[in-house]
Amino acid sequence: MKLGQFELSDGMARLGTESAFEVLARAKELERQGHEVINLGIGQPDFQTPGHIVEAAKKALDDGHHGYTPGNGILPLREAVAADIAVNRGATVDPDNIVIVPGGKVTMWYAILMFGGPGTEIMYPNPGFPIYESVIAFSGAKPVPIPLLEKNAFAFDADEVLAQITPATRLIIVNSPANPTGGVVPRAEFDKLAAGLEKHPHVTILSDEIYSRLTYDNAEFVTMLDYEHLRDRLIILDGWSKTYAMTGWRIGYGVWPAPLVDLVTRLNINSVSCTNAATQFASIAALERPQHSVAMMREAFDGRRKLIVDLTNGIPGMSSILPTGAFYTMPNIAGTGVKAKAMETLLLEELHIAAIAGTSFGAYGEGYIRFSYANSTENIEKALGRMRDYAESAGWAKAA
């Protein structure tokens, strides 16, 4: 790829991005111009990191933890993660299979680079977290979408996934609870996928379980660790960002099959060396201390979830199912006659509401917009009120 005088690698032309960061930057600019922007865009809790976690980081610095740490993370943290997995997922995992990385995203970057490349195929949810498709394409692999449809409450259809497997398929990415839809895949669908994968031993699975602690209405979170027969080709992605309001601390972990642990540690050492030392000590405190802050945040999100869905369904031209996971809704905007990207621009520039076009999460996101309800009830009411007023004056139709 050529860029001015620069001769770049071809992959650079295929690298996408996460447009939530661009919308956030534009929202900040509008705020600087004096507009009151309500942010339903970026996917991060609006809570502060619980105080005891912050204190643990300060203590780590006071205790002199200022140096490099092992490339796979400090042992006490890997042990704490294994203990947490035992409690919250009922699964036994060896701390040596856990690799600590600077952010949940890093596990997906490494996994996709490890398996992708020209001539290979990687399946990913669409609409889904945009970095999957971006990095798959960057690696030279063919991105093969797993369509997530509103009529299935945005869960994958296991038969459809299995039917798309070819000899070139190297990796299948699943994500439940999901960004951007809030969808939670039922156990029956996971069971079917896991059973079907027995016939395809050449395929590895990356299960992005970063929203594991955020489910509502008794929706069941299913970890793929439940499927013992897949354990030797299963990568689990999780982290602290969403569960403990720690997006800016940059830490996450992967559970890897034993033969891949050295390779993923090498990827870490070749790029970032290791994860911030104080952050790792803070993350031990997050896992080991009482979890009431997690429950408190979940409860607040639950109330906002119902509120935003109710208010969305009062807007002519929009309709929203009630998702049971994460902190997103994905309303159908087909009834407004406005396309997804145009709706994102309209909401931001005219109504000063940051929200993300469904198409930012893949082609199957056309006709949808993503709201993050990690914002106060007052702001949700204000934002949706602005939309309703606009919809009524613009004459958007009521969705059928």
Ligand X SMILES: Cc1ncc(COP(=O)(O)O)c(C=O)c1O
The footprint of ligand X (CB under 6 A) covers 43, 103-105, 129, 175, 179, 208, 210, 239, 241, 247, 252
List, in order, residues 6 or more apart from 74 with CB less than 8 Å away.
100, 277, 280, 281
Identity of the residue, 97 or 241, whose beta carbon is nearer to ligand X in the bound complex: 241
In whole angstroms, how far apart are CA 241 and each of 47, 228, 229, 292? 11, 27, 29, 16
Phi and psi for 238 in degrees, rounded to 5?
-150, 180
Q: CB–CB of 366/340 below 8 Å? A: yes
Contact present, 361 and 20 (Cβ < 8 Å): no
95 vs 239 by CB, closer to ligand X: 239
Strand partners, 370: 356
Report in angstroms how near the CB of residue 300 gets to ligand X at its nearest: 18
Q: Tokens 């993350």, residue?
A: 283
CB of 175 to ligand X, least distance (A): 5
Tokens 């309303």 found at: 331
Smallest distance from ligand X to CB 103, Å:
3
To ligand X, the closest distance from the beta carbon of 88 in angstroms equals: 17
Supply angle C-alpha 237, 298, 192, rounded to 5.
45
Q: Output the smallest distance, CB 74 to ligand X, in A.
A: 18
Q: 137 vs 210, which CB is nearer to ligand X?
A: 210
Question: Which C-beta is closer to ligand X: that of 227 or that of 361?
Answer: 361
Q: Are 169 and 144 in contact (CB under 8 A)?
A: yes
Is residue 150 within 8 A of residue 321, CB to CB? The reply is: yes
Name which of 43 and 116 has its Cβ closer to ligand X.
43
Which residue, 116 or 128, is less far from ligand X as judged by CB?
128
Q: Which residue is nearest to ligand X (CB)?
A: 104
In the complex, what is the shortest distance from the CB of residue 314 to ligand X, in angstroms, rounded to a whole number? Answer: 28
